[in-house]
Amino acid sequence: MGRYVARRLLQMVPVFFGSTLLIFAMVYLIPGDPIRALFGERQVSDATLESLRDRYNLDDPFLVQYGKYMGVLPDGEEGFSGVLQGDFGEDFRGREVSELMTERFPVTIRLAVAAIIIETVVGIIAGVMAGIRRNSFMDNLVLVSTTLVIAIPLFVLEFGAQLIFGLQLDWFPIAGLREGWVSYALPAMLLAALSLCYVARLTRTSIVENIRSDYVRTARAKGLSGQRVVGRHVLRNSLIPVVTFIGTDFGYLLGGAIVTETIFNLPGIGRAVFDGVTQREGAVVVGLITVLVIVFLVANLLVDVLYGVLDPRIRYE
């Protein structure tokens, strides 16, 4: 187990630096003045330009720039200060991006956790109900409804839900956080909707495959009740791919949070990315997305490790 974790960690290092380097390269290797590109059509003072030029070490070779941004190489008198030290740069008003993050992250975390709980619980229940009786009414209902939800783009789905459940039926608050936990209900359900469908389908397929296997027949032959066979034997084995999916799904949730928080006006990281884009705060966008990508990579790593714990067959090779 220890060796497996160590190997996964080692494999993660090039992916981590490669992905962040890619993001960095996308922004700073584009022809033209990258600082100008960060501002887009906005007017900036020469002093700001100068300080940013200095901050991003634009006179250094590209890889050195990246090293200093990441905090792997020392940056003049500041010493090691970069992404690895929690320094993600600052916006044009001189506010630290990390400060913005500590303020916004709790909202996004709550939203994402709520979404993951919803997709796991509802998705697995729907998948099991569809999977244990193949081609039944329930099975077809799950297949058709998941196809529909997968096909409707998230933001269209969210506007539709806002119109119906928020405005027509008036069941949920539709914007902001004024009503505490209830304010998260509708956005979390919608953020979970797409992944919920994948979880349900994955659980279904996995159950359909497992229910025909030898160990299930053995369990039945021993005289176990149907409930116990499904709950203790089939489900345990069927949930391994589902767990992996939920972990890797984190990246999608973070992307979806950008749309969801914008539509429901929630002051989280996603909303900050959207505002960064509309207000042309390039440094903020790059900083925030770098963090989100790191969160995504760490989540993937955790899933890989968890995978080894759940399925003893994975460990050895």
Partner 1 sequence: MSSGSETHVDPTSDQQGAASSGAVTGGAEVGVGGREAGLWKDAWRQLRRSPLFVGSATTILLFTLMAAFPRLYLWYYPGSTDPRECSLTNSVGRPGAGAWFGYDLQGCDYYTQVIYGAKVSMIVGIATVVIAGAIAVVFGSIAGYYGGRIDTVIARITDIWFGIPLILGAIVFLNAIGQRGLLQVTLVLVAFSWMTMLRLMRSSTIERREADYVDAARALGADTRRIITRHILPNAIAPLIVYATITVGITIAVEATLSFLGVGLQLPAITWGLMINSSFRRILTAPHLLVFPGAFLSIVVLAFIVMGDALRDALDPRLR
For partner 1 (CB under 8 A), the number of binding residues is 53
- Segment contacting partner 1 (CB under 8 A): 76-84, 212-220, 224-232, 269-277? 269-277
* Residue 207 near partner 1 by CB under 8 A: no
State the minimum distance, in angstroms, from the CB of residue 309 to partner 1. Answer: 22
**Least distance from C-beta 147 to partner 1, angstroms?**
6
Does 22 sit near partner 1 (CB under 8 A)?
yes
Residues 92/97/103/104 CA torsion (nearest 10 deg): 90
Q: How far is the CB of 20 from partner 1 (least distance, A)?
A: 9
Gap between the Cα atoms of 144 and 150, Å rounded: 10
Residues 146-185 that bind partner 1 (CB under 8 A): 147-148, 150-156, 159-160, 162-163, 167
Q: Rounded to whole angstroms, how far apart are CA atoms 98 and 283?
A: 12
Considering the complex, what minimum distance in angstroms separates the CB of residue 34 from partner 1? 8
86 lies in the binding site for partner 1 (CB under 8 A): no
> 27 or 100: whose CB is closer to partner 1?
27
Looking at 101-109, 183-191, 230-238, 272-280, which segment touches partner 1 (CB under 8 A)? 272-280
- One-letter amino acid for residue 313 of the chain: R
Instruction: Write the DSSP assignment of the chain as a string of letters.
Output: -HHHHHHHHHHHHHHHHHHHHHHHHHHHSSSS-HHHHHHTT----HHHHHHHHHHTTTTS-HHHHHHHHHTSS-BGGGBS-SGGGT---B-TTS-BHHHHHHHHHHHHHHHHHHHHHHHHHHHHHHHHHHHHSTTSHHHHHHHHHHHHHHHS-HHHHHHHHIIIIIIIS--S--SSSTTTTHHHHHHHHHHHHHHHHHHHHHHHHHHHHHTTSHHHHHHHHTT--HHHIIIIIIHHHHHHHHHHHHHHHHHHHHHHHHHHHHHTT--SHHHHHHHHHHTT-HHHHHHHHHHHHHHHHHHHHHHHHHHHHH-HHHH--
Q: Distance between CA 73 and CA 94 in Å, rounded?
A: 23
Q: What minimum distance in Å lies between the beta carbon of 8 and partner 1? A: 12
Binds partner 1 by CB under 8 A, chosen from 264, 273, 303, 304: 273
Q: Per-residue x/- marks for partner 1, 282-311, CB under 8 A?
A: x--xx--x--xx--xx--x-----------
> Is residue 6 near partner 1 by the rule CB under 8 A?
no
CB of 156 to partner 1, least distance (A): 4
Q: x/- contact string, 239-258, with partner 1 (CB under 8 A)?
A: ------------xx-xxx-x
The residue within the footprint of partner 1, chosen from 27, 52, 202, 229 (CB under 8 A), is: 27
**Site residues, partner 1 (CB under 8 A):** 11, 14-16, 18-19, 22-23, 26-27, 30, 32, 34, 37-38, 40-41, 147-148, 150-156, 159-160, 162-163, 167, 251-252, 254-256, 258-259, 262-263, 273-274, 277-278, 282, 285-286, 289, 292-293, 296-297, 300
